[in-house]
Chain A
């Protein structure tokens, strides 16, 4: 009830002409294209995918280490996860972008900005994904491994052919959430310094806001983010429904 009243109050109190002039100037929105798609959106997706793939591979290794029977492996994985899950992505990006070059002068992170982003966002993502993957592996019934071992498979063989495929199916929804979070975290990339070819959506919109002194670019960028994240959310929902039906 109160919520409806607030909405009513906002709707009636707002000056719609001014608002549309501020947030929905078509000419300004049009001026942002095609670069908004061909450069900014493309880079946002690219940064997300690079960090995700890096994070997934490292995350899987960490998850297996955490479940390993070898104690130092477990220690390392636990320490890594606690450390990178506890640090803000921005701080890690600063570390990779400015700390590493200071610590290792004359050495470059391969791949330039793309390499730095992959490392900066991927290191954090790996910590989250390791926990997700571990939960997925542990969710596979114990009998599966025992059955595979009885059939004469080695532990590694059983892991690769029996456990991990099932685990991945379980963790697809949380991993998709991780992609959505990563997509938004790519907005931090601009602290590394960006060129007209490595710019991502948020900085792109910020620059357009600067030159046009009108917030329309922010709305455009927001819609473009939704263009990535909404289908992903839909996908998760679909997968969850399917999983529920199969059970």
Chain B
């Protein structure tokens, strides 16, 4: 009787342990995903989940009704349409996007965040074909006669933390040993606010971003200089997710071929530069 009681207790313990371990393993991956007809596995059935960081107009930002719209959104919508699902957008810090942790953690299927393709990021993400040629631009308050970084000696320049703009300025400051204080802001909104409230004398971000800001704040800010860094934007998927990457690239190629890309470009960015 005693031995039976002991073994029963052991069995209970073993079951409990198995449950706990199973539960822990279960936490790691929730199986609510789905697969589209084309064989692309998605983390959530019926939706292409996109990670981005808001606001980043004109690439992605909420409109008056709170719906997230923009150049990136429109292009990813094409991918979602091709897969026969709808796009769902998750707003998450840029650090998690570019480090690949959001994709690896199964937070989203694709990252679309006006993200420049870099060798560093390629180590943790698989990038699509480039979909946008980006240049960095220096924005100043209107009336500020600055044209180059050198003229900003002794001044403060705002950057968006974790972006290629920040890397570019920090490298320039180091290489040319410029006397510039680089202030890193947590997102575009904070950076623009800092420029508007004169907490920095100039700010560096992608050119289309400033163009959009100037459109909405006429006469307050102007672009003082552009830096052609040869950057290109790419969408990113989890490393090894070849099926989704193929679908993204096919969708981009199709959009470029049938003129949809140009239409979307004209809507969000403006007239296409002649190059």
Report A's interface with B, CB cutoff 8 A: 2, 5-6, 8-10, 12-13, 98, 101-102, 105-106, 190-191, 193-196, 203, 206-207, 209-210, 213
Sample of 7 further A-B pairs with CB below 8 A, known A98-B197, A193-B186 = A5-B17, A12-B21, A105-B198, A190-B184, A196-B182, A206-B95, A210-B98
Q: Measured between alpha carbons, how far is A8 from B19 in the docked complex, in Å?
A: 12
Residues of B within 8 A of A195 (CB): 156, 181-184
Contact A5 B99 (CB under 8 A): no
Chain B min CB distance to A15 (Å): 12
Chain B min CB distance to A222 (Å): 17
Contact A102 B197 (CB under 8 A): yes
Q: Within the complex, which residue of B17, B123, B186 is in contact with A213, where a contact is CB–CB below 8 Å?
A: B123
Q: Measured between alpha carbons, how far is A166 from B109 in the docked complex, in Å?
A: 61
Contact B199 A101 (CB under 8 A): yes
Q: Is B171 an interface residue (CB 8 A)?
A: no
Q: Is B172 an interface residue (CB 8 A)?
A: no
Chain A min CB distance to B67 (Å): 25
Contact B99 A209 (CB under 8 A): yes
Q: Is B73 an interface residue (CB 8 A)?
A: no
Q: Measured between alpha carbons, how far is A195 from B158 in the docked complex, in Å?
A: 9
- By secondary structure, the A interface counts as helix
Residues of A within 8 A of B193 (CB): 98, 102
- B101 nearest CB neighbor, chain A only: A213
- B124 nearest CB neighbor, chain A only: A213
Q: Within the complex, which residue of B17, B20, B124, B185 is in contact with A193, where a contact is CB–CB below 8 Å?
A: B185
For chain B, the bracket of interface size reads 20 to 34
Q: Within the complex, which residue of A101, A106, A191, A209 is in contact with B186, where a contact is CB–CB below 8 Å?
A: A191
**Contact pattern, B 91-102, Cβ under 8 Å of A = 1, otherwise 0:** 000010011100
Contact A191 B190 (CB under 8 A): yes
Residues of B within 8 A of A102 (CB): 193, 196-197
Contact B20 A9 (CB under 8 A): yes
Residues of B within 8 A of A10 (CB): 24
Chain A min CB distance to B139 (Å): 15
Chain B min CB distance to A239 (Å): 38
Chain A min CB distance to B171 (Å): 13
Residues of A within 8 A of B95 (CB): 206, 209-210
Contact B194 A193 (CB under 8 A): yes
Residues of B within 8 A of A98 (CB): 190, 193-194, 197
Q: Within the complex, which residue of A105, A190, A213 is in contact with B99, where a contact is CB–CB below 8 Å?
A: A213
Contact B99 A13 (CB under 8 A): no
Q: Measured between alpha carbons, how far is A210 from B100 in the docked complex, in Å?
A: 10
Q: What 5 A-B pairs are tightest by C-beta distance, nearest first?
A: A101-B197, A9-B20, A193-B185, A193-B183, A9-B21
Q: Is B106 an interface residue (CB 8 A)?
A: no
Given contacts A101-B199, A213-B123, contact A8 B17 (CB under 8 A): yes
Q: Is B13 an interface residue (CB 8 A)?
A: yes
